[in-house]
Chains A and B, each alone.
Chain A
Amino acid sequence: MAAASTRMPLLRKHPSLLIFLGVLALFTLAVTLMSEAYGPGIISASFVKTLGKTLCLCLIALAMDLVWGYTGILSLGHFAFFGLGGYMIGMWLMYARTRDIVVASLANGALPPTPEEIRDAVAVQIFGVVGGNTFPTIWYFASSFWAQLALVVLVPGLLALVFGWLAFRSRVTGVYLSILTQAMTLALALWLFQNDSGLRGNNGLSGLQNLPGADAIPQSYVSIWFFWASAAALGLAYLLCFWIVSGKFGSVLRGIRDDEARVRFLGYPVEGFKLFVFTLTAVLAGLAGALYYPQAGIINPAEMAPIASVYLAVWVAIGGRGRLYGAVIGAAFVSLVSSVFTGGRVPDVNLGFYTIQWVDWWQVMLGIAFVIVTIVAPKGIGGLFDWFEGVKSPDRKGEPLGPDDGALREKEAVE
């Protein structure tokens, strides 16, 4: 990275970006050519969906890496934003699809249906399960795809903005902040669990895999389209994140992570930077959710339980914090391995006195593996790349600085 190269475009300056985008493109192409829709069907539609969902998880892991790995904010609330994004698009999907069904069934009646009849029938269809028969106010825009799409961005973004503003303004940092984000997630999940939240309580929204007006199109095609969308979103988000962290902004973020006070004394409004990153990553998480849940088909508040956000941190930690590809690798690796183990695809181990059933023991293994990674290999899988390249970490004298409050130690030593 000599001085002369700084004018070169982003792609040429950072070969890793090119490699990542290339691998993603090849992967997308390969899956497409092996799919049922555009190839011999080696990969089933449901597995295409699994892969598409995994790409969405990689996208939110990317957001998590930006906010935690780069900025040092261990947010345990990003899955709440993910879920909110899913709910927002789910409202439109469910409304539009139910409306199609209702219109079709009412068309058989003796009289042509009035708009009021259609609306009431749709409301009964959707909210009958929680004992409602009218649309709550929050469904005001549900009939408009574009409005709900805007809400996918706006709702998580606004929530993050308000929450972040409150939290950062009062200088809540470190573990306090983590606990507070966890509380926020819990509050949101509990709120959605009640029946009069207007989002069908613990039933959640369902039937999201059916695109309105596209009944004739087989799921094999729909699945691959969503796969493409997820891959494109991941690619674009990666580019965006890379652009953000490669410049001075990234420098400031890493500075905040390592020594927040020092950045403040350099004159940077740390709170503004944190708020920016927190909100941006919340929006990315919302988008990831909006792509994920149509592929999953159903969303309910249990998806947003605080533990989900912890798993998110686990993926990023296992993949390697503070490097974007690490987050993507971690999310892909852990979620795919997890689905293999919990899907019962690994044979049970018979020890004679006890049979290890991986469905039961996978979580124990994951927990322990996570503890070991945190203690022994804080760089995660991404550390392997350093090892290959022979890049040594800087020889730091004193306490290790990293995406933790390590720098605090140095500061304490000053006083």
Chain B
Amino acid sequence: MNSLLEVSGVSVTFDGFRAINNLSFTIGPQEMRAIIGPNGAGKTTFMDIVTGKTKPDTGRVVWGERAISLLKLSESQIAQVGIGRKFQRPTVFEDQLVRENLMMAVKRPRGPVPVLFFRPSAADRERVEELAGEIGLADQLDRKSGELSHGQKQWLEIGMLLAQEPKLLLVDEPAAGMTLAEREHTTTLLREAAKTRAVVVVEHDMEFVRRLDCRVTVLHEGAVLAEGSLDFVTQNPEVIEVYLGR
């Protein structure tokens, strides 16, 4: 099977609490996927495992055509093979300029020595301008990113992710706290991104998921409950039970 990321049989326990329970998940190279599920379903933990922040107790996480095991890599190495992550709250470097934020994210050698001798080339600067245009911050480049509005920070973070040129984008609740117009912009950005790479969106908001128009995976108690189109999974009685029942 031609998959970009394959997670199989992964379990993780925190002090006796099973956050992820024998989870398996696969995504192809150019696919958009939404992950939904109630609180505590293990969505964030799942992302932590893929990005190397949490090491699972059992299971395999395999990446790319060369089938590299991500479990042996550090967070920075995982990021370098091409997995980008966007956190729920915007985490940009507030004390630095938008330009600096983007320049840091642009895909270039990441080791200390090349970074020390790095001086931006014309191409790099162009790339930054271009990204800024894409995320609608072209005229904000020389502002400190801490001065941006909440939505702008979200876009800046997405811009930084795009600058990394990842093959897989993990996005955690991108629409939280956004105005309607900002949401539309975000949807466009994500769908644009999904044309050239895999995108996984974790989201609560069904409306936003519907707008993304993609396959949906429903997580519950650390395992996959259902998978398919949004309409398909919302008809699933178990999903209804989990979301509406009790």
Give A contacts to B, CB under 8 Å: 1-3, 6, 244, 247-249, 251-252, 254-255, 258-259, 261-262, 264-270, 272-273, 275-276, 394-397, 401-402, 407, 410-411, 413-415
Contacts and interface: CB of A to CB of B under 8 A. Distances in A.
Given A258-B93, A267-B80, 14 more contacts: A3-B125, A3-B141, A249-B115, A255-B93, A258-B94, A262-B87, A262-B91, A266-B79, A269-B76, A269-B110, A272-B111, A276-B112, A394-B95, A396-B146
The 4 closest A-B pairs by CB, nearest first: A394-B146, A267-B79, A394-B144, A264-B75
B115 A268 contact: yes
B169 to A, nearest CB: 12
Contacts of A267: 76-77, 79-80, 110, 164
Contacts of A410: 89, 91
A329 B125 CA distance: 35
A396 B51 CA distance: 28
A268 B74 CA distance: 10
A259 B44 contact: no
B96 interface: yes
A282 to B, nearest CB: 15
Contacts of B93: 251, 254-255, 258-259, 262
Interface of B: 44, 51, 53, 74-77, 79-80, 84-85, 87-89, 91, 93-96, 100, 103-105, 110-112, 115-116, 118-120, 125, 129, 141-142, 144-147, 150, 160, 164, 172
Contact of B142 (A1, A249, A254, A414): A1
B118 A247 contact: yes
B115 A254 contact: no
A6 B95 contact: no
Contacts of A269: 74, 76-77, 110-112
Contacts of B147: 394-395
Nearest to A407: B91
Contacts of A261: 53, 75
B146 A401 contact: yes
B120 A6 contact: yes
A402 B96 CA distance: 11
A9 to B, nearest CB: 11
Contacts of A244: 116
A239 B141 CA distance: 27
A252 B76 contact: no
A254 B91 contact: no
Contacts of B80: 267
Given A255-B96, A268-B110, A395 B104 contact: no
Contacts of A414: 44, 87-89, 91, 172
B164 A396 contact: no
Contacts of B94: 258, 394, 396, 401
A266 B160 contact: yes
Given A269-B111, A401-B94, A6 B75 contact: no
B118 A265 contact: no
B51 A265 contact: yes
Contacts of A249: 112, 115-116, 118
B111 A252 contact: no
A381 to B, nearest CB: 19
A58 B56 CA distance: 48
Given A264-B75, A267-B164, A269-B74, A251 B100 contact: yes
A278 to B, nearest CB: 11
27 contacts: A2-B142, A3-B125, A244-B116, A247-B116, A248-B104, A248-B115, A249-B118, A251-B103, A254-B95, A261-B75, A262-B87, A262-B91, A265-B76, A265-B79, A267-B76, A267-B79, A267-B110, A269-B74, A269-B76, A269-B111, A273-B112, A394-B144, A401-B94, A407-B91, A411-B91, A414-B91, A414-B172
